Structure formats: C-alpha cells, structure tokens
Amino acid sequence: MTQIFLRLAATALILCWSAGVLAQRPRPRIFDRCDVTFDPVVLSQPYNPMSPDDYVQSFTTTAHRHGTSEETRGMTYNAVLLRQGNYRLPTELYVLDSEGGATGEVLYDRPGPQIGEGIGDNGEIEAIFEPEIGRNLVTMAIRIPAGTEIDSGEFLHQFDVKYLCNHEDERTTRGHNNRGFTISFPVSTAVQASLVGTEPDFGEIGMLSDIDVAGAPPSTIKRSHYMRVASTGPYEVNVVSQNSWRMTATGAPTGNAAERIAYRYELLDQELDSSRPNFTPVMCQASGVSGENIRLTATLTEGGQGKLPSPSYRDIITITVTPLAVALGDPERCD
C-alpha cells in the first residue's frame, strides 16, 4: 500500500537541507512527479484586535498529491508548512481531525522539524493518502492571541510548502511551493477610548474675581487629563459642550450670567470657549492596539465671585471617537 505522509508545521524559519543529501540528488526520471499543494482557505469571521478573546476559527483544507499512478508509483511524500521568513505574528495552527493521523496536535511558531524519519513526533500531523487517492481532507483551526496587532482590511496569512518524495529505489526528490498554503480573513476596524486621570475640578473658586483668575498661576486655573485611544484604523474625533463651554449652577444650560462660569477647553490644537464653541472634527491615524494618549486641557477664564452660590458648577463634555473605514484626505498623528 502506498502511503503519503503530510507534516504540517508553522515556523518563521526556512528549512535547510544537509549538503550530504543534496549532493546525492539524482536527475529526475520522466515518470517521477513530486508535487504537493493545498486548497486556499477563506474565513468569513472577522478578527477584532480589540476583543478580549482569542480568535479561534476551524476550517477544512484539502492536501493534493499530483500526478498519475504511473508518475507517482513507489513514492511516499512528506510535506511541511513553513511560514514566510519575515512573518512575526504569534499564530497557532493545529489539526482537529485528520484521516489516518493524530488529532489535536498544536503547531507552534518554532523551528520546523527535519523532513525524513521520525514521522509523528515534534507535534507533527500525519495525514495518510490511501492507494490511488490523490487528496486528503483535513479539519484544522487557527488561533490568534487576543490583542495581536493586525492592520484592518483583508488579511492574507501565507505559508510556504516544502515537500520531499522518497522513491522505491531509495532516491529522494524535493520541491518548494512558495506561498503554497494561504488563510485569509477580514480584520475589523475597531477603536477603544477611555479617560486617563481625574475629571477637571477647579475646587473652590467662589472667592476668585475675574482679575484674580487672569493673574493666577496654572496650578490654580488649569487642569489636564488624557484620553487614551487604541485603534486598528483611522478614526475621527469630535467634541461638544452641553453649555457652550460654561459651567452652570445646575449643570443645565441657562441664559442667566449669574449662574454660569466660563472656561476654555483645548483638544488637538484647537481652543474652544463660549465665543468659539464649535470644534472642527479631526481625522487621526491608526494608533495601534497599544494606543496613544491625547491631551485634554481645561482652563478657568472667569471667577466665581458674585455668582449664584452652588455646591458644584459643572458642564457636560461629550467626546466622540468614530472608526473610519476609509479616511478621506490625510489623517494626522493625534497624540
């Protein structure tokens, strides 16, 4: 019975063949054909880099040996999947079910095993081709750890395939199929935003006049905090004030000047106050999964002296961060 063994392994290294074996490589004969290919895999489930859960998707792929029975007579195959040498994602590829082979073996990002003896060790998977059958269906899965940074859009995960054919006359031939196995899936454009630090609080200002405020040091009239934004693609920032950049005695809009205290707000190089209340939305470059901090600064411009007494003058500021599928124009770096 002719058996064909497929070894599947994920690695960022290129497999090296010993000089001794290469020196013994004979000239192929006309009936020899050493060729192994895999059907491409297309996954529909998007990967969200912001998700707290690992991305785990199962799929089926078919390994093919090519050639007629005459072309492949007396031959056994070994094949290894090799990730491209410049690839660095901590991806795991493993087999869930394989006809005639082991199940549940995980193929980590590590140097690939040698092709040859020792079938079945080092986490390899044996997929056996029955005589006269040129294909083998394998159920596999891919796992990407949560938080792995991948650019938004359609992602193509590429593997090289190296294979070795042992002939019945003890000869050996080899092949290399660049990008011979691919897994593609969509990557979501995702964004997360959160405040870093405490909300601006000017403390007790009832005894401060407008003149006092104008001459006060920054420690008295200026408060800064940050907004952390993590995104896999471009995003837009906008901000509005419920009370047009005034704190009011009740927190609600009012037309009574004795119940409101003015301040200035700074965000992404724009200064906002009651005379310039409107913010021009800013398109920002992707900040990555690790994120970046955007500075937010509130500066008191009016004192509380003579105002209606209240335990808390306040305003409500709403900052909106919106992911963009496509950025129109040139997004800027926002930090």
Walk along the chain (335 residues) and give the pLDDT tens digit of each residue. Answer: 333 333 333 322 222 223 333 334 444 443 356 667 788 999 999 999 888 898 888 888 887 776 555 555 555 555 556 555 445 566 666 666 544 343 444 443 333 444 344 433 444 444 444 545 667 777 777 888 888 888 888 998 887 776 666 666 666 766 677 777 888 999 988 899 999 988 889 999 999 999 999 999 999 999 999 999 999 889 999 999 999 999 999 999 999 999 999 999 999 999 999 999 999 999 999 998 889 999 999 999 999 999 999 989 999 999 999 998 777 778 899 97
75 and 195 together in one domain: no
Whether 5 is in a domain gets the answer no
Assess whether 167 and 196 both reside in one domain: no
- Whether residues 182 and 34 share a domain: the answer is yes
In a domain, 2, yes or no: no
Domain containing 166 equals 19-187
Q: Which value, to the nearest 10 degrees, does the dihedral of the CA atoms of residues 214, 247, 199, 190 take?
A: -120
Q: Is residue 262 in a domain?
A: yes
Domain count for the chain = 2
**Is the pTM for the entire model greater than 0.85?**
no
Examine the domain organization and report whether 278 and 196 are in the same domain.
yes
